[in-house]
């Protein structure tokens, strides 16, 4: 069906409100095309898109369609009797999308366990197994700007669904008409409340991952939840450890408009502007920041001269990995210990793990692949120690199968406590790691290319990069779209050099193409120079195409 026909169908539908129809009639021809030229993609990340009326947007109709597809898939696989747990973050409409999902499931006779409070995404992953559910749904767009929302699906292990499972669910979704859908009336008796008992169980399980570091009374931590769901769980965990925590007041309360930041993303330095301004006037040792669904953690550390340094995801990950490995080694390594990282995450972690006799495994971008490894290790008798990705995602423990900023915040504070007791800073500890293992520098370059034209340009750019002759100093070119080893095929290309690499991939959740750059040198100056050269090459290449 061409976009004009879909537009007219939506405009004449009896299920759309007058407000929704008014929104549609106000659109330009180009806006109509963008909203209806395709349906919002459903993949391993579920749905994610701008909130608005249309088949290519996040709205109650596309949410209901996705949930009906999931319900029919669960019934077909005869696993629906175990129910589905549903959580949501602080974004606008997250609660109403969660309620709509619960209503659709109940209409199919499936019990929906609906959180009665905001919760971190990893808490939903935990709750799936804790409640013995067949699946989980979390309404969130993670760290995306305020106009976005999303719909993520977990399997019975609390891991994001596999590509094969996503394709199966999608086949059921495609049979559901939009915007009407085909389910019957909701059954309120099948919508059960998830309250503080599950939250307490989750917090208790996070606390079991503590390294047991004694917290100095004068350690002062500043925390910003960036108007998201992390506020209460992060503070609850740190309070249990006796940590003195101050919250950035202007960013404490949940607010889907995220009024104090351009984007609620701890990967962006400006997200910490208010926190740094406060810290300059107070004796703050460490600043923590979590995104709206509290699965990503950003750190800002105070240098000895009083200046503040915002760490990138690779730096934080290296610090936490070294800390976890060292504390685990002190207690005695378990059987066949493993670290898991994504293919675009720093190789420094592998160097550190090797020094401790721990194997590092690479997986595709996306924490779901790290979650898959946890299950694989449990079946094989191996031991998962730590998982990380450069995009500020970390996990210690197997209670969840997704990245968790709550446990990462706890580990970061314990590391800061250890450093303070030694009279050093986290920046000093990172320098020590570089001196021992090498100076690694990484940077992410992201280019936003929206709409049909942007999608076409991204495809053209990827084709151009694949067709390039060997680059100067290139040792290997890895095209993950062809399938590498046991990894699934993925639209990722990696240029490998003796002193680092350049990897590129289109985002699976936003209209963006991402370049991951890495360099290693015998000194910080050398690695920074190599990184700067690669940055210039990428910018020139993108501009040319």
Same domain as 182, residue 50: yes
Buried b (16+ CB within 10 A) or exposed e, 27-55: beeeebbbbbbebbebbbbbbbbbbbbbb
- What's the rounded Cα separation, in Å, for the pair 190 and 105? 9
* CATH number of the domain within which 246 lies: 3.40.120.10
CB 320 within 8 A of CB 339: no
Same domain as 473, residue 422: no
Residue 479 lies in a domain: yes
CB 157 within 8 A of CB 133: no
> Whose CA is closest to 228, among 98, 57, 427, 92?
92
Bridge-based pairing of strands 135-139 and 84-88 is parallel
pTM, whole model, 2 decimals? 0.95
Residue 501 lies in a domain: yes
Of 284, 305, 326, the domain-final residue: 305
**523 classed as catalytic:** no
CB 66 within 8 A of CB 151: yes
Same domain as 132, residue 92: yes
pLDDT at 510: 75
Residue 2 lies in a domain: no
pLDDT at 545: 65
* CATH number of the domain within which 451 lies: 3.30.310.50
- What's the rounded Cα separation, in Å, for the pair 74 and 224? 39
* Cα first-last separation, the chain: 32
Tokens found for residue 155: 């399997």
Residue 22 lies in a domain: no
pLDDT at 1: 66
Same domain as 256, residue 241: yes
516, containing H or E segment? strand 512-521
Same domain as 181, residue 263: no
Residue 3 lies in a domain: no
Same domain as 84, residue 170: yes
Same domain as 449, residue 377: no
Question: What residue numbers bound the domain in which 478 lies?
Answer: 440-544
Same domain as 189, residue 40: yes
Same domain as 299, residue 242: yes
Residuewise pLDDT in 10s, the chain (545 residues): 689 999 999 999 999 999 999 999 999 999 999 999 999 999 888 999 999 999 999 999 999 999 999 999 999 999 999 999 999 999 999 999 999 999 999 999 999 999 999 999 999 999 999 999 999 999 999 999 999 999 999 999 999 999 899 999 999 999 999 999 988 999 999 999 999 999 999 999 999 999 999 999 999 999 999 999 999 999 999 999 999 999 999 999 999 999 999 999 999 999 999 999 999 999 999 999 999 999 999 999 988 888 899 999 999 999 999 999 999 999 999 999 999 999 999 999 999 999 999 999 999 999 999 999 999 999 999 999 999 999 999 999 999 999 999 999 999 999 999 999 999 999 999 999 999 999 999 999 999 988 888 889 999 999 999 999 999 899 999 999 998 888 889 999 999 999 999 999 998 777 899 999 999 999 999 999 999 999 999 999 998 76
Bridge-based pairing of strands 493-497 and 500-506 is antiparallel
Residue 113 lies in a domain: yes
SS3 262: coil
Bridge-based pairing of strands 359-363 and 337-342 is parallel
> Whose CA is closest to 480, among 313, 364, 391?
364
SS3 97: helix
CB 51 within 8 A of CB 139: no
The structure tokens 């100067």 sit at 472
SS3 223: strand
Residue 86 lies in a domain: yes
Same domain as 222, residue 160: no
Pick the catalytic residue: 142, 294, 318, 527? 142
Same domain as 527, residue 486: yes
Of 305, 323, 349, the domain-final residue: 305
Same domain as 324, residue 293: no
Helix/strand/coil percent split, the chain, to 5: 45, 20, 35
Overall domain count for the chain: 4
């Amino acid at each position: 069906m061409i976009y004009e026909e879909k537009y007219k169908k939506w405009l004449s539908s009896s299920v759309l409100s007058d407000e929704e129809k008014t929104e549609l009639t106000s659109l330009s021809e180009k806006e109509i095309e963008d909203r209806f030229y395709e349906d919002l993609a459903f993949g391993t990340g579920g749905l994610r898109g701008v909130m608005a009326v249309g088949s290519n947007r996040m709205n109650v109709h596309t949410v209901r369609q996705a949930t009906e597809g999931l319900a029919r898939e669960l019934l077909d696989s005869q696993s629906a009797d175990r129910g589905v747990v549903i959580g949501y973050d602080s974004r606008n409409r997250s609660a109403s999308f969660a309620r709509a999902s619960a209503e659709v499931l109940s209409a199919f006779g499936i019990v929906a366990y609906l959180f009665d409070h905001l919760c971190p995404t990893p808490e939903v992953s935990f709750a799936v197994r804790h409640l013995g559910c067949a699946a989980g749904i979390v309404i969130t767009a993670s760290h995306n700007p305020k106009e976005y929302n999303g719909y993520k699906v977990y399997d019975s292990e609390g891991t994001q669904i596999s590509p094969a499972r996503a394709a199966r669910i999608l086949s059921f979704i495609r049979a559901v008409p939009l915007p009407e859908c085909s389910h019957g009336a909701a059954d309120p008796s099948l919508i059960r409340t998830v309250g503080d008992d599950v939250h307490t169980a989750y917090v208790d399980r996070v606390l079991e991952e503590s390294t047991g570091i004694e917290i100095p009374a004068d350690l002062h931590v500043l925390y910003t939840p960036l108007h998201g769901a992390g506020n209460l769980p992060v503070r609850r965990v740190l309070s249990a450890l006796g940590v003195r925590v101050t919250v950035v007041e202007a960013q404490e309360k949940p607010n889907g408009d995220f009024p104090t930041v351009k984007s609620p993303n701890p990967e962006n330095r400006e997200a910490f502007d208010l926190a740094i301004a406060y810290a300059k006037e107070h004796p703050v040792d460490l600043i923590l920041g979590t995104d709206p669904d509290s699965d990503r953690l950003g750190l800002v550390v105070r240098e000895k001269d009083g200046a503040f340094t915002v760490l990138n995801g690779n730096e934080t990950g290296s610090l936490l990995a070294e800390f976890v490995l060292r504390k685990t080694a002190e207690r005695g390594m378990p059987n066949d210990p493993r670290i898991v990282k994504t293919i675009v995450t720093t190789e420094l972690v592998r160097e550190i793990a090797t020094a401790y006799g721990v194997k590092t495994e690479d997986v595709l971008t996306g924490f779901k692949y790290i979650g898959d490894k946890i299950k694989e290790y449990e079946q094989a008798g191996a031991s998962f120690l730590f998982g990380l990705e450069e995009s500020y995602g970390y996990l210690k423990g197997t209670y969840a199968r997704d990245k968790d900023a709550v446990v990462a915040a706890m580990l970061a504070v314990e590391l800061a406590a250890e450093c303070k007791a030694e009279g050093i800073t986290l920046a000093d500890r990172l320098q020590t790691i570089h001196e021992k293992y090498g100076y690694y520098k990484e940077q992410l370059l992201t280019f936003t290319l929206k709409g049909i034209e942007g999608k076409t340009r991204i495809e053209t750019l990827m084709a151009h990069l694949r067709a390039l002759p060997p680059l100067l100093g290139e040792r290997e070119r890895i095209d993950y779209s062809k399938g590498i080893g046991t990894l699934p095929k993925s639209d990722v290309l990696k240029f490998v050099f003796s002193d680092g690499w350049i990897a590129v991939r289109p985002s699976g959740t936003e209209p963006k193409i991402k370049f991951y750059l890495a360099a290693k040198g015998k000194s910080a100056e050398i690695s920074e120079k190599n990184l700067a050269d690669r940055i210039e090459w990428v910018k020139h290449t993108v501009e040319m195409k």
